[in-house]
Structure 1
Amino acid sequence: MSLLSLHSVTKTVPLPDAPPLTILHGVDLEISSGDRLSIVGRSGSGKSTLLNLMGLLDSPSTGSITFDGRPAEKFSSAERDRVRGREIGFIFQQFNLLQGRTARENVMTPLLYATGKQFWNRSTLAGEMLERVGLGHRVDAMPTMLSGGEQQRVAIARSLVRGPRVILADEPTGALDVETGASVMALLDEVALSTGAALVTITHDPAIADLASRHLLLDHGRLSTVRDDGRPSELVAVSRRLPHAAGVHAVPAASGAVPDEDEELSA
């Protein structure tokens, strides 16, 4: 059984003095535990909107989303919050660290909403996760004292500290140089593999896409699968030849959603 499923999902938003705008068109997607999936698409193709839906940060206009066999629309607000906080890990291009907190305190943040042993052992668990990403010696460092690669490692540790079953990474190496980005992505893939979590990466980088076992293209809100013998580098090359999507409006984000500042809407 799939862990996360999207069935005939569309996302449409109203516009002032204009017909409604459809961002996603009939998206079908099945994600199982341990999957390695890359999604490539030009700016305006709907990638961030799709990520928000997969992360239960927003709801589809039509179609359905299921998590662990349960329809997401039937989740209570508390259940949706629990799934987002416990079962789904988010990693973004911007590290979004709390500047007034140490590396350990940043990683502890999700555990403040945990219960039982995870809550009471939050400091130890945060330290162990930082050790796992190679920052055991930097637990007391403030974000301003860390390099870009180290800050992204802290962000990865924070997203993984509660043991999520799905990891959603939106251009996770976009703010890093090539060598550091490759190192960070290899680390993320290694940690996800060891826990059995599904890893979904949105990227323009063929080297990052190369780590995935499934490769999808999002074009004007329509999702298609690359052939099994297709190369990720070919997928990225195809996406670069696609025209930019029309439109200049920002996606109205649901509470907690993190929209891509560069993302435009597609008709």
Structure 2
Amino acid sequence: MSLVRLRGVTKTVRIPDAEPLTILDGVDLEIAEAEWVSVVGRSGSGKSTLLNILGLLDAPSAGEFDVDGVPVHRLSSSARDRKRGADIGFVFQQFNLLAGRTALENVVTPLLYASGSRFWRRRSIAAEMLERVGLGHRLGARPEVLSGGEQQRVAIARALVRAPRLILADEPTGALDVETGAAVIDLLESVAAKNGSALVVITHDPAVAARAGSRYRLDGGRLSAVAGTAAA
């Protein structure tokens, strides 16, 4: 069974005094456990909308969207929120770190919603994750004194601290230099592989996209597999 399955997914938005705008048009996509997927496309092609749907932040206007074989439209709002918190980790291009909070405090935040021993051990779990991303020596550093690459690593640690089954990364190298960007992708790959997580990266960088086992292009709201990959 696929972790995520989209069939004929369409997303339209209404615009005052104009025809509805179609952002996604009949998208078909299946993502398996531990699969590495990249999606490339120009600005305005619908990449971020697709990521928001996969992350249960937005809903399709039409089509089928299943998670673990369960149609998402059957889930209540609170059930979707729980699913997102437990199983999905987001890595944003702009990092979205909490200003004035240390690296450790930023990574602890998702664990405030954990239960049992993970809640009580949240600081040690967060510290271990920061150690895994090479920032064990920067636990007390605030975002304003961290480099761009270090901020991205904190963001990755925060996204992965709950060991999500699905990692969604939106242009994770877009604000970084080539060397730092490559290191970030190396890190995402290694942590996803170790945890058995599926990894979906939205990117405009062909070099990043080429590293994925399944590669797709989104153009005008239509998704197509790139020839010669597992997705084709």
Q: TM-score, normalised by structure 2?
A: 0.97
Contact persistence 2:135–2:150 (CA under 8 A): yes
Q: Which residue does 2:3 correspond to in 1? A: 3
Q: Which residue does 2:207 correspond to in 1? A: 207
Code of the aligned partner of 1:95: F
Contact persistence 2:213–2:229 (CA under 8 A): no
- CA–CA separation in structure 2 for the residues paired with 1:48 and 1:123: 32
Deviations 1:167-223 (A, max 9, x none): 010100111111011011101111001111000001111221122011101000000
Contact persistence 2:214–2:229 (CA under 8 A): no
Deviations 1:40-80 (A, max 9, x none): 00011111111111111011110121111111111112111
**Secondary structure, aligned partner of 2:20:** strand
Q: Which residue does 2:20 correspond to in 1? A: 20
Q: TM-score, normalised by structure 1?
A: 0.84
Q: Which residue does 1:92 correspond to in 2? A: 92
Give percent identity, aligned residues only.
Answer: 67
Code of the aligned partner of 2:95: F
- CA–CA separation in structure 2 for the residues paired with 1:9 and 1:228: 24
- CA–CA separation in structure 1 for the residues paired with 2:98 and 2:20: 37
Code of the aligned partner of 2:202: I
Contact persistence 2:90–2:168 (CA under 8 A): yes
Contact persistence 2:90–2:169 (CA under 8 A): yes
Runs (5+) with no aligned partner, structure 1: 231-267
Q: Which residue does 1:73 correspond to in 2? A: 73
Deviations 1:66-100 (A, max 9, x none): 11111111111211111111100101110110011
Q: Which residue does 1:241 correspond to in 2? A: none
- CA–CA separation in structure 1 for the residues paired with 2:64 and 2:112: 31
**Secondary structure, aligned partner of 2:150:** helix
Contact persistence 2:215–2:229 (CA under 8 A): no
Deviations 1:213-256 (A, max 9, x none): 111010000000011269xxxxxxxxxxxxxxxxxxxxxxxxxx
Q: Which residue does 1:121 correspond to in 2? A: 121
Runs (5+) with no aligned partner, structure 2: none
Residues 122 and 220 (structure 1), Cα distance of their counterparts in 2 relative to 1, 3 Å cut? same
Deviations 1:125-144 (A, max 9, x none): 00000000010111111111
Q: Which residue does 1:141 correspond to in 2? A: 141
How many residues are matched?
230
